[in-house]
Structure 1
């Protein structure tokens, strides 16, 4: 169970140092606090590898063929960079949605291969986006990290130890199966992770799926199967999602035309861009551009 004083302290921290519905840095790299006093509509977003411990309220993440719901006391684990649709589904001014999230450090995870190597794996592949009830030790470790973040001197000395502990406990979690698979460099999870890195760095360029498969060391058919199992989409759709999400950010930031955004993210046809953009976000690029400067949560 999540301690009431932790919920209160995290909410008050966001109230003082950030904005409702936006990530609020804690001072420890990659560790953020989030709170929202109202529910939100489901919207497309991009998740980096991350863990999120919900302290109060609830949220849903839609990964095309799956809906992952996580509420107070649950931990969400995202092992790969993926595009999702997410919404806060339980929040109010009296009981705001409140959470602590930590971007995962793959170097810390892989440094624990020897310690974790003895864990048995069954034939179930696991999911790149999954949630389950947190054990008391994980809640305690995340709570200690938040407390440490309030004291820069203690954080500098002790946060690396607690960060390592949190990664260790995530690896041991029942829904940390995909993280454990990433410890093996030759696993499909690791190979797909490498392909994702290429797609993210070159998303503006045309990339042949056969070339991605070769880079990952897989046959085209095996690559397609494992890519879809990890990301819930195809490589080409994944690239399209990257382009459209980047274009939306450009339009919201202002200073770029619809055609400019289309060309900047790799589209050759503004008409095709507008059609695919409207289909994904339920609003035209011009409508999104008109919101430039507005607060988006």
Structure 2
């Protein structure tokens, strides 16, 4: 435990060095992002892509539908499919800012590591939630430190970054949540089937759809699909579509190219009043007020 705490302190130091200010800092290492916040934030809804998130300093609360997860340097978070999440930094200050290392998951590389490791197969029909939190280990923290430190020697990134990413994946597969990680890497798993359906919904979110059509994308019966989709995402397919629609409308308005009526129509709402009502229910304020606040505060809709 002491070694893990020491490693997290080192990870905070190197992360601080490469985050000159608040916000999301994409790096020269593909798929590696560093996040810094100098004060607690309000809840911010985003569509979170598959990734491993390691908090080096501070604390955060993440909500998936009605489920809440709190994590800090003693824990790490894994998101295995695209999920509509609400995230809130709960512990941060200018002296000790929130610092997070986000590593996007490469399913092909993870599957390659799984094959070489020779891990046992997952149980047929089993399914895991698309988000989980696990205890941090000194080995995983050490691999994360070495990966971020590569930013100090960019000439070595093309050669060493893939090796360090493979080590991180290996540590995930060897950790206490190895079963959940194997679901991500295993072709034909329920996570993969639901992932296909999610990709279809994201592509066609502005259009009405039937459960039968999306279930066919997942290669499942409608009843099985509805059950497994809720197990993975904690919401129904239609609730998922609604969140994707509203988050995309928010992004369009924050970008400045669309007003509320145009954004609502663009994402599939024919009724402006219904759009405003559902937007307020999800984000806590009507579109104009919410977007004005986001612009004034300079909030990043991609914050992890």
Bin the TM-score by the shorter chain.
over 0.9
1:274 corresponds to = 276
Query: Any unmatched runs of 5+ in structure 2?
Result: none
1:262 is matched with 264
SS across alignment from 1:14: coil
1:296 matched to 2:302? The reply is: no
- How far apart, in 1, do the equivalents of 2:210 and 2:42 lie? 35
Query: How has the CA–CA distance of structure 1 residues 10 and 199 changed in structure 2, closer, same or farther, with 3 Å as cutoff?
Result: same
Change (3 A) 1:198 1:157: same
Task: Give the alignment's TM-score, normalised by structure 1.
Answer: 0.92
CA RMSD, aligned part only?
1.9
Contact in 1 for aligned 2:14/2:145 (Cα 8 Å): no
1:94 CA displacement? 2.4
Please give the per-residue CA displacement for 1:97-138, whole angstroms capped at 9, x wherever unaligned.
Answer: 111111111111122332344347579743211112211111
Corresponding residue for residue 237 of structure 2: 235
What displacement does 1:157 show?
Answer: 1.4
* C-alpha deviation, 1:181, in angstroms: 1.3
Whether the 8 Å contact between 1:178 and 1:189 is mirrored in structure 2 is no
Counterpart residue number, 1:156: 158
The residue correspondences of 1:52-91 to structure 2 (distance < 5 A) are: 52-91=53-92
Cα gap change, 1:218 to 1:259, in 2 (>3 Å): same
- Return 99-108 or 5-14, whichever deviates more: 5-14
2:13 matched residue in structure 1: 8
Structure 1 match to 2:102: 101
1:1-297 paired onto structure 2 within 5 Å: 1=5, 2-15=7-20, 19-20=21-22, 22-119=23-120, 125-291=127-293, 293-294=295-296, 295-297=298-300
Partner of 1:108, secondary structure, is helix
Higher relative contact order (CA 8 A, sep 6+): 2
Structure 1 ranges of 4+ moved more than 6 A: none
- Give unmatched runs, 5+ long, in structure 1: none
- Asked if the contact 2:32/2:101 (under 8 Å) is kept, the reply is yes
For each residue in 1:119-164, what CA deviation from the matched residue of structure 2 results, as whole angstroms up to 9, or x when unmatched? 4757974321111221111111111110112222111111111111
